[in-house]
Chain A
Amino acid sequence: SAVISQKPSRDICQRGTSLTIQCQVDSQVTMMFWYRQQPGQSLTLIATANQGSEATYESGFVIDKFPISRPNLTFSTLTVSNMSPEDSSIYLCSVLGTGSPNEQFFGPGTRLTVL
């Protein structure tokens, strides 16, 4: 298993500002994922972040809006840029474990509210 922490756990932000969410893992992992979970909804994958390469974004998500960094095998950041109220969601970091079948482990999430 992997222990994942996220900072901040929650934040309230003003429209037009940006917020960077940090994800720290207690072990080295190859693949990290960022998800968005809108209120009462299931998870939507934003992007996959591998160390040493550009993040791969899913349809509907672009790098200018959600820039991601992956400087090493234990850390990643997701920035939500130029925020609007529609960005109010829980943002979850996830990593791929090394067991079979490579199950995903999740961080506690960041609850973002945009006013």
Chain B
Amino acid sequence: AQTVTQSQPEMSVQEAETVTLSCTYDTSESNYYLFWYKQPPSRQMILVIRQEAYKQQNATENRFSVNFQKAAKSFSLKISDSQLGDTAMYFCAFRPMDSNYQLIWGAGTKLIIKP
């Protein structure tokens, strides 16, 4: 069975610090996509960043970047220069490339940015 594990239920850092959220997954697939979604208190689920497994280069989106280690099945999210607005639940998700588009979700990490 394919699973996604987020081992950090909650994290908190000071504003402007860098924080890394961990995500590991288990699959026998070789081609797949990985996503990080953010869900602030407003409940709106927002895509933060995505990574195609066939790409060796780590994806980056402004202050957000990933460390994708395919052999280790690890997909961590790094947030640089954290801001108060980054406070949210962060979910890691996985989807096989040839799937029917269903996402497999991690349990989430609650990130609190302190002023």
Range for the number of chain B residues in contact with chain A: 20 to 34
B47 at the interface (CB under 8 A from A): yes
Select one of A31, A41, A108, A111 contacting B44, CB under 8 A.
A108
Interface residues of A, CB < 8 Å — how many?
A: 20
Q: Is the interface of A mostly helix, strand, loop or mixed?
A: strand
- CB of B35 within 8 A of chain A? yes
Contact with B along A37-80 (1 / 0, CB 8 A): 00001110100100000000000000000000000000000000
CB distance from A41 to the nearest CB of B (A): 7
B binding-site residues for A, Cβ under 8 Å: 33, 35, 37, 42-47, 50, 52, 91, 95, 97, 100-103, 105-108
Which residues of A are at the interface with B, using a C-beta cutoff of 8 A? 31, 33, 41-43, 45, 48, 90, 92, 94, 96, 101-106, 108-109, 111
